[in-house]
Structure 1
């Protein structure tokens, strides 16, 4: 049963890779990569359950956090062209 779940997740990951390569916009590609990361977390969790290794859930959680932070960073870079504080955006205003 879980092997069928892993096969289904693998098929959706393949479809997401196709969407990430074809686009048409950069935001479609970013969304596809983000969902691919989410599916990877699911795949790691199911694999850990099949192998009887609960420590894989810790790895899946860390990967989920990295995926979220990476997606936010890429979207911020795409919108502003920079990841740091701009001179007018700094909360102190004197930088």
Structure 2
């Protein structure tokens, strides 16, 4: 192989526009597009009605919520002491919180 042919071979095979680099970039593009294709297919499946939905049947039958039998309950109002921020009176405040 002559020097000139070697230079042309290097030019075609090596470098940013070399055939090996282009093949590598093409493979990466195919992988990326395949990933996007799978994501798009998944989203289309979510938007496409199932056979049950096409016939007007609900996909899931919701469980009925039983009515509550409890009425309103009035609880007694509780008074709570007011803490003024004084740490020396903290024990008095703490003692006022005990339930009688």
**One fold, TM greater than 0.5?**
no
Larger Rg computed on CA atoms: 2
More helix by share: 1
TM-score normalised by structure 1 residue count: 0.30
TM-score normalised by structure 2 residue count: 0.28
